[in-house]
């Protein structure tokens, strides 16, 4: 096995599909195999930190990337990669009438989430908040955060802090918000990933979501990832 760290997305990657929150039994068993094999597993999600830490606890994962890279929890400490006051941004988004706020926003700091109410919600929100912010869809919600930080930024931060090459990190994801980490690490996209995620990954496995994650772990443990 060439990989030392496994960074995995949650929604759409560990779930049964890209339109449910129910975790895949195959994915859970694969996670356990990865941990038992000695991989350091990091959960990288668009969700807020409190929610992510709760899920990670029940998955047996210690390290977390939350809010699409804005917040990192490592060895009991929280680190912030984003900065700024998002109150004005939230006001601008809601003024478009194109999306409704996620209930999680009460617990989110930098990456705000919205439920689309219009087909062109992403475009309308991007025009409202301006170029200093990233606006993208995870398939579950529209996310707005300060530009310059994504899951790939968080992966590079982990590599430096843990003293490993990003080439020794495997990342598995399914959506546009995973593109940064799929490019930065040895990226693996599940079979039903978005076109952007597949293009960013080194390998696209056949199975969708949780089944695809199991296939990704099989590839990693067999030595087929984190290699030239």
1 has pLDDT over 80: no
Instruction: Give the domain extent around 158.
Output: 5-81+149-221
pLDDT single digits (tens) 201-215 = 999 999 999 999 999
Q: Is 9 a catalytic residue?
A: yes
Q: What are phi and psi of 11, to 5 degrees?
A: -65, 125
Calculate the alpha carbon distances from 191 to 55, 93, 149, 154, 199 in Å.
24, 32, 26, 24, 12
How does DSSP assign 47-90, residue by residue?
A: S-HHHHHHHHHHHT--EEEEGGGTEEEETTEEEE---S--HHHH
Share of the chain above pLDDT 90, in %: 92
Q: What is the three-class DSSP state of 196? A: helix
Kindly state the greatest CA–CA separation across the chain: 51
CA distance 10 to 91: 28
Mean pLDDT on 189-203: 97
Residue 147 to residues 33, 70, 83, Cα–Cα distance (Å): 36, 10, 10
Considering the domain architecture, whether residues 110 and 173 belong to the same structural domain is answered as no
Q: For residues 184 and 168, is the Cβ–Cβ distance under 8 A?
A: no
* Statement to judge: residues 93 and 67 lie in one domain: no
Q: What is the CATH number of the domain that holds 47?
A: 3.40.50.1000
> What pLDDT sits at residue 104?
87
For 27-61, what is each residue's pLDDT tens digit? 999 999 999 999 999 999 999 999 999 999 999 99
| Residue 168 belongs to some domain of the structure | yes
Whether 153 maps to a domain, the answer reads yes
Q: What residues are paired with 177 via a beta bridge?
A: none
How far is Cα 141 from Cα 74, in angstroms, rounded to an integer?
26
Do 94 and 108 belong together in one domain? yes
Is 226 contained in some domain? no
Same domain, 71 and 116: no
Domain count, the chain: 2
pTM score of the predicted model: 0.92
Q: What is the pLDDT of residues 60-105, one digit of tens each?
A: 999 999 999 999 999 999 999 999 889 999 999 999 999 999 998 9
Which of these three, 103, 122, 146, is where a domain ends?
A: 146
């Amino acid at each position: 096995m060439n990989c030392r760290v496994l960074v995995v997305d949650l929604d759409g990657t560990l779930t049964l599909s890209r339109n449910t929150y129910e975790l895949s039994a195959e994915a859970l068993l694969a996670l356990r195999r990865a941990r038992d094999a000695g991989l350091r597993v990091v959960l990288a999600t668009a969700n807020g930190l409190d929610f992510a830490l709760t899920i990670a606890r029940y998955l047996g994962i210690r390290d977390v990337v939350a809010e699409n890279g804005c917040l990192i929890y490592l060895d009991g400490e929280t680190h912030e990669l984003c900065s700024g006051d998002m109150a004005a941004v939230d006001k601008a988004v809601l003024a478009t009438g194109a999306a409704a706020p996620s209930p999680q926003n009460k617990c989110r700091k930098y990456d705000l989430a919205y439920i689309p109410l219009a087909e062109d919600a992403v475009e309308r929100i991007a025009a409202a908040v301006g170029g200093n912010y990233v606006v993208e869809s995870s398939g579950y919600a529209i996310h707005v955060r300060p530009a310059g930080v994504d899951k790939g930024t968080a992966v590079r931060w982990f590599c430096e802090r843990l003293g490993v090459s990003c080439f020794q990190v495997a990342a598995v994801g399914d959506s546009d918000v995973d593109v940064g980490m799929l490019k930065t690490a040895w990226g693996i996209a599940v079979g039903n990933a978005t076109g952007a995620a597949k293009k960013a990954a080194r390998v696209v496995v056949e199975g969708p979501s949780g089944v695809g994650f199991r296939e990704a772990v099989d590839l990693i443990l067999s030595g087929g990832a984190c290699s030239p």
